[in-house]
Amino acid sequence: MISNSRQVTVNAAFLKEIKEDNLRLYNLMENLRTFWLVPDPLTLKPEWFSVLVNELRDQLAMHFALEATFGYFDHADQVDALTAAESQRLRDQHEDLYLEIASIAEQVEEALYPEWNQTTYAAQIERFDQFYQKFQQHESAEFDLIMSASYENFKRMYHSGVSSKADSARW
């Protein structure tokens, strides 16, 4: 069902491009993933985890800012109600995801300084694992939204092109 009230929707082309271009973000996620796959502070230095998680926090801030600015539209006309609801839900998740990674980064710093705290550090590795899973679910849902919005745009263009050709054939 198409709604004529102004709502949030996705700019599928820009959102897809933002995701494809942010290789640094995805490389950081995979590098950090190794810390819970190999949870040994003697093998993988906790200081390095701290550096990477702080860099990830900064990358996510930029990534989410780009998505919010160019990947989503406020006050869009003629939006499918389900697309609008899903767009709003996913855009709202950005704040929660950012706050979670910022909290992890802060807690890792506290685990390292002034004295090493193995328990706090291990808890943050576990939190990052949970964050990683949530982020992957979020990205997957945004991909589904991109595909759905692209399909809806294609249908609208196809149907408007078919009706335009039919109208012109009558004249």
Residue 70 lies in a domain: yes
Q: How much is the pLDDT for 76? A: 59
Residue 169 lies in a domain: no
* CB of 66 closer than 8 Å to CB of 94: no
The residue assigned the tokens 């979670």 is: 100
Residue 168 lies in a domain: no
Residue 166 lies in a domain: no
**What's the pTM?**
0.80
Q: How much is the pLDDT for 7? A: 77
Q: How much is the pLDDT for 14? A: 80
Which residue stretches of the chain have pLDDT < 70? 1-6, 75-78, 153-159, 161-171
Per-residue b or e along 125-142, where b marks 16 or more CB atoms closer than 10 Å to that residue's CB = bebbbebbeebeebbeeb
Residue 79: how many CB atoms within 10 A of its CB? Answer: 23
Residue 27 lies in a domain: yes
Q: What is the dihedral of CA 34, 38, 42, 44, to 10 degrees?
A: 0
Q: Cite the beta strand spans of 11-164 per DSSP E.
A: 72-76, 79-80
Residue 167 lies in a domain: no
Q: How much is the pLDDT for 9? A: 76
Residue 171 lies in a domain: no
Q: What is the CATH number for 18?
A: 1.20.120
Q: Which residue range forms the structural domain that includes residue 24?
A: 2-161
